[in-house]
Amino acid sequence: MSPVVKRVFHLPWRTRAVMRSDLEEEFAFHFDMRFRELVARGVPAAEARTLALDEFGDLAEARCYIDAVDEAIEAATRQRDIMDNVTRSLRHAVRRLVRAPLFTLTSVLTLTIGIGACALMMSLVSTVLLKPLPYGQPDRIEMVWGTVPNGGLGFVEQPTHGRMFTLIRDNTRAYEAVAGFRGAAFNLGDATNPERLAGVQVTGGFFRALGVSAEIGRFFERANETPGNDRVAVLSDGLWRRRFGGASNVIGRAITLNAESYVVIGVARPGFAFPRGAEMPGDFQFAATPDVWVPLAPPTAGPSDLAIVARLRPGVTHAAARQDMDRVIGVIEASIPGAKGHIHQLLVPLRDQIVGNVQLMLVSLLAGVVLVLVIACVNTAQLLVAQLHVRRRELAVRAALGASARRIAGEVMAEVLLLVAGGGVGGIVVGMVGLRLLRTFGAARLPRGSELAFDTRSALAALAVTVVAALLASIVPMLTGSRVPLVETLRSGGRGAGRGGMSIKARRALIVGELAVSLVLVTSAGLLIRSLSRQLNGALGFSASHGLTFELSLPPIRYPETQARTSMDHTAALPFLAAALNNIRAIPGVSAAAIGKPLPLSGAQEATVFTPEGDLPPLASDATSPIAEYTVASPDMFRALGTPFVAGHDFSAADRQDSPPVVIVNQAMAEWLWPNKPAVGKRIRVGPPGMKPAPPWMTVVGVVSNMKRYALTETPRPEMIVPYTQNPYPTFSTMQFVVRSRLEAAALLPAIRAAVAAADASIPVAQVRTIDDLVASSASNARFVTRFMTGFGIVALVLAIVGVYGVIGYSVQQRRQEFGIRRALGADSGEIVRLILRQCLNLTGAGLALGLGLTIAAGYGLRHLLFDVSPFDPATFVGAVVLIAAATTAASLVPAAAAARIEPRAALEE
Amino acid sequence: MTSSIDLLQGTVDVLTLRALVFGPLHGYGVSQWIRDRTDGELVVENAALYKALHRLELAGAIAAEWGRSESNRRARYYHLTAKGRRQLRTEESRWHRYTRAVSKVLGPA
């Protein structure tokens, strides 16, 4: 047998037993031949046997040796056979792919989009949700928040008072380290070149609670809380490199923060940034990433303003910590008079705190992206089936010549592998680029955004996705490809064979599936778009355009505040604020400027317990006193924000520290306290009922529209606004300004800086944002998820169009003769077009019907992401159905027009 | 067997390769060929012969497949591969150099 013949009629692989018996047969043959030869030469049989046997020598040793050699031969043969098979299949596949460039390009692009989107989303999810947090034993870290059950406040997580913090720290048995911290703005440097830093004041156990160590130098100890040791600072890696050139001799150097001298004792590791604004509740107003940490002694007076982070002792569970906290609350209630029943602490594992908000969003997007991948694979499968159908004659001939079904399936697999490999490479590139873009543009808003990187996890995820894609795309084509009906195909000369039999059925099934999944994605995108537009176009209560906001931080050493609740000694701060405001109002082009704190959607929150004159309003079941949002404002704040008055009037320059106290309330407050009665002229005061000494009554002078304060999705809450001159609370350390002007922000800003500098050159203008920007960023999560889902929807729609176009176009081609006959029998072109459109609508209808159930499930899954839109919003559902139907109809019009042009004679002559 | 020459290392390999130059042979054929060509002077033990055949197959110098013998019995036939031909050429020239060198030392017999 020649080697060529052997290769085609490949011998089966030999087992060990077969090899052994082959060898014995070889020996036996040799022995017999030699024996007969000797006998033929006249040697007696007995002697001949002995002689022949002697010639063999040591057979036992030879058997051992040859067995080992044979096994090696067999292993090498198998390996070579497999490699031959693979390379042959791949070579064939490459040749076919090159011959059909349009098909190849479409498939690779489709798969690139599918795999790329999947890889991107999987690395996003793996980094944000799955990767351990970058702190020591992060599972043991918890956040401890104050909370007001059903208090109706904007944020569930509330700050804790310094005295409470101390009591928690001293009495806990569950935590090995408890630290309080609060955001603080620092002006770094001297009066000529101030830079505003995002700072955090932290108590001694802060770094220990997080389980991190310093890059250089050391971190704070409990001792750093006491005066004399507390003028020390830890720098972030970024600040260290930016301002100090990464020099290690920065340790021990003095820096000026808010006009006071601090000694640098440590630098944090690169990437360490706690707390990050995007990962903490919005009401704490932490900056995106902190630049500097300084020690804080737990405050014994002043407002509640601490966030708390704590580390569980080894082996203590979350539930045990909860129990222990309830015990500690008992201790606190015993030591603070009148606190009983008012103290509630919320314990949140750090991971939930950081990713809780985005978990649902990311999981929804992951589900969406998986559907995109499914569509991409289905589309590729559909195109492959079409290709196989074109080649069915060749396949039938080869099958007739003995090519096995497995062989043909192997070739299809090879083709799919090549396509998917192309898509995989493209997808990984898309994923890497996408991730980089996300990190550049979304890192500040997305929790753990700065940790995003295309790492081993991402690569593995992309690989897994690619393998799944290969499987998804190859199953149906392999099945159809290896089942080409032999006889009919050959008999019909490779044409006709019904309407394509098996393969056209497979393609239709695939298209129906594709349309079903498209409906899910298009509807989901539609729901999210509607929800986003409801958020952006809902009544804001202020005007988003032509407004600019910024912050000024007043260093307490130069602008001291008294901390007693009832006095209003802001003697140092008030003249500066008034001067800055007057200078800004004098800028040409500025139509209104005002102080307001907190400004809407700026992330800040103030709230106060208050008492109305007369009866208490209806309260939530477990609330004991009425609570309202609390804002301080200068005259003109409502004009600068564009908030309309419903009744009464604004504050005026006459509302001073020593004039009768006044207050403005929002509509929600007015309706809550005095339903169906005029609010103007009514009186309220801050503090709980029966507070001694009683704060003065404030008279309502105006009622304004409800403003969105924290989120575009919130329902209006009661709010009171008091003149900044009459504010009884010390909240002047950071003040917010709002300026309304027709000028562009960039043109206005230098003038504002100059105006502020004219009042005090050492105070930098910070946190400059347009109101437009504030609105946009409060919708940033919604926008993020909506953009992605819309992208998925568009991809799904385009692929569905391509798929429908392919199937209908092909069927028109197959039915040319039939259409020709119909024309010859008198059918006009309209009839033919109707015939084809009906075919298209049947496909679409089947797909949409199949997708409806899935879509309802998807809407249900998205319900928590939707604002003011039902997850089963009929308008969106109908819209999506109409959109897909219109798209598929449009896709089938081209082949329909081609069919209408078929000449009766031409078709018959073919 | 005492009268015949002891075989030097590697001799069986080169003899086997040489035996296959004219076409495929089974193991018995190879042993016959060697006996005939040396008039029985060189006796290769069958154990050594078969070890060489399988070793050469593993090395890719020869390939084997089952065929039918003259008496229509199933027999394993070996044939030279391109690699085997190359190996034979180098082995032959080395063998000639070797025997020439040894002959020079020993002088005419």
pLDDT, tens digit (0-9, with 9 covering 90-100), for A656-696 = 888 999 999 999 999 999 999 999 999 999 888 777 778 88
Which residues, including other chains, have CB under 8 Å from residue A138's CB and lie 6 or more apart?
A: A132, A211, A350, A351
H-run or E-run covering A242: helix A237-244
* Banded pLDDT at A601 (limits 50, 70, 90): confident
Please tell me which of the candidates B28, B65, B75 has its beta carbon nearest to residue A6.
B65
pTM for the whole thing?
0.72
In whole angstroms, give the CA distance from residue A395 to residue A779.
56
A657: DSSP letter:
T
Instruction: Quick: pLDDT tens for A72-112.
Output: 988 888 888 888 888 888 888 888 888 888 888 888 988 89
Q: Do A62 and B48 touch (CB under 8 A)?
A: yes
Helix axes A16-40, B46-59, angle to 10 degrees: 140
Per CB-CB distance under 8 Å, the chain A contacts of B43 are 55
Q: What is the DSSP string of A27-59?
A: HHHHHHHHHHHHHHTT--HHHHHHHHHHTT--H
Per CB-CB distance under 8 Å, the chain A contacts of B65 are 1, 6, 11
Task: For an interface test with A, give the residue of B28, B31, B70 to mutate (most A CBs within 10 A).
Answer: B28
Partners of A717 in beta bridges: none
**Sign of the C-alpha dihedral, residues A768, A771, A773, A775?**
positive
Burial of A630 (C-beta count, 10 Å sphere; 0-12/13-18/19+): buried
- State the amino acid at position A287 in one-letter form: A
Q: Do A6 and B58 touch (CB under 8 A)?
A: no
In whole angstroms, give the CA distance from residue A430 to residue A600.
38
In whole angstroms, give the CA distance from residue A601 to residue A540.
10
Q: Which range among A125-134, A408-417, A557-566, A669-678 shows the weakest confidence by mean pLDDT?
A: A557-566
In whole angstroms, give the CA distance from residue A310 to residue A319.
15
Instruction: Quick: pLDDT tens for B28-63.
Output: 999 999 988 888 787 788 999 999 999 999 999 999
H-run or E-run covering A265: strand A260-267
ipTM: 0.91
Neighbouring C-beta atoms of residue A320, cutoff 10 Å: 14
| pLDDT reading at A817 higher than 60 | yes
- CA distances, A781 to each of A417, A775, A787 (Å): 37, 12, 10
Per CB-CB distance under 8 Å, the chain B contacts of A25 are 74, 76
- Does residue B57 belong to the interface with chain A, where contact is any CB pair within 8 Å? yes
- The per-residue pLDDT for A193 is 67
Question: Are A816 and A907 in contact, with CB atoms under 8 Å apart?
Answer: yes
Chain B residue with minimum CA distance to A70 = B54
Task: For an interface test with A, give the residue of B30, B46, B66, B81 to mutate (most A CBs within 10 A).
Answer: B46
Partners of A188 in beta bridges: A195, A257
H-run or E-run covering A893: helix A874-900
Q: Which range among A451-455, A634-638, A837-841, A876-880 shows the weakest confidence by mean pLDDT?
A: A451-455
Place of tokens 């701060």: A573
In whole angstroms, give the CA distance from residue A658 to residue A654.
10
Neighbouring C-beta atoms of residue A226, cutoff 10 Å: 11
H-run or E-run covering A25: helix A16-40
Per CB-CB distance under 8 Å, the chain A contacts of B54 are 65-66, 69-70, 73
Instruction: Quick: pLDDT tens for A859-895.
Output: 998 988 888 889 999 999 999 999 999 999 998 888 8
In whole angstroms, give the CA distance from residue A665 to residue A647.
10
Which residues, including other chains, have CB under 8 Å from residue A145's CB and lie 6 or more apart?
A: A156, A157, A158, A159, A160, A281, A307, A308, A345, A346, A348
A160: DSSP letter:
B
Question: Are A355 and A448 in contact, with CB atoms under 8 Å apart?
Answer: yes
Chain B residue with minimum CA distance to A25 = B75
* Banded pLDDT at A129 (limits 50, 70, 90): confident
Which phi-psi region, left, alpha or beta, contains residue A271 (left: φ > 0; alpha: ψ -120 to 50)?
Answer: left
Instruction: Quick: pLDDT tens for A17-40.
Output: 888 898 999 999 999 999 999 999
Q: Do A29 and B46 touch (CB under 8 A)?
A: no
A622: DSSP letter:
T
- Does residue B84 belong to the interface with chain A, where contact is any CB pair within 8 Å? no
Q: Which range among A517-521, A652-656, B1-5, B85-89 shows the weakest confidence by mean pLDDT?
A: B1-5
In whole angstroms, give the CA distance from residue A115 to residue A488.
39
* Banded pLDDT at A564 (limits 50, 70, 90): very low
| A662-666 and A698-704 beta bridge pairing | parallel
Per CB-CB distance under 8 Å, the chain A contacts of B26 are 26, 29-30
